[in-house]
Amino acid sequence: MRKSPKGWIPPPSMTVPVDPEEFKFCCALMSAAYSGQMPTEPPTKQVVNIEDLGEVSFADVPINRAMLAVRDHFRQTRTEEHQDEFMPMAFRIECFGDFLRLCMKNKDLRIEKFVEMQDGDVTSINEELVEAAATVKIGNCGFSRDELFDKAIQLMQR
């Protein structure tokens, strides 16, 4: 782990681009697990080993069910030596969630062309915005909104 005056900086291995199609799949998988549309094992029954901390389990809340569904996908589709591919995917998904949350919080009007809303909740996200999030550079503070929106617009024009 690296720390700067501004806080924690992710290691380069966590910020590498990921396959856009798999990123879109993992976002859909998370959404289904989060909303309860797909059955998942309760996070309290799954144990995760954290270095220097030991084994822990997580509370049974939607975000934990969602991320554990993605982790399980990687366990089922990767050999042991490729399990580390989960970390950049998980980090990108978290950064994308932060990006969406901050756009809403800061009332960034650019987000309106990329999401559908109902009762204050995002109900649909434009595929090009999701695809852009798979490959746009992640900086020390997550995605640059300008870069992510620019990339999504480029993808829409292809």
82-117 pLDDT, tens per residue? Answer: 888 999 999 999 999 999 999 999 999 999 999 998
> Closest Cα partner for 93 from 61, 63, 52, 55?
63
Domain-located, residue 2:
no
pTM of the model: 0.86
Q: Which pair of structure tokens corresponds to residue 22?
A: 């798999």
Domain-located, residue 92:
yes
Domain-located, residue 4:
no
- Other beta carbons within 10 Å of 134: 22
Beta strands in 26-146 (DSSP E): 48-50, 54-56, 115-118, 121-125, 138-139, 142-143
Domain-located, residue 71:
yes
- Other beta carbons within 10 Å of 46: 16
With a cut of 70, which residues of the chain have pLDDT below it? 1-6
Contact call for residues 151 and 136 (beta carbons, < 8 A): yes
The pLDDT assigned to 146 comes to 96
The pLDDT assigned to 14 comes to 92
The pLDDT assigned to 77 comes to 92
- 27: containing domain: 12-156
Q: Which pair of structure tokens corresponds to residue 136?
A: 């746009």
The pLDDT assigned to 9 comes to 83
The pLDDT assigned to 45 comes to 84
Domain count, the chain: 1
Non-local CB neighbours of 52 within 8 Å, separated by 6+ positions = none
Domain-located, residue 1:
no
The pLDDT assigned to 6 comes to 62
The pLDDT assigned to 96 comes to 96
Domain-located, residue 3:
no
The pLDDT assigned to 158 comes to 86
Domain-located, residue 62:
yes
The pLDDT assigned to 39 comes to 84
Domain-located, residue 141:
yes
Contact call for residues 27 and 36 (beta carbons, < 8 A): no
The pLDDT assigned to 44 comes to 83
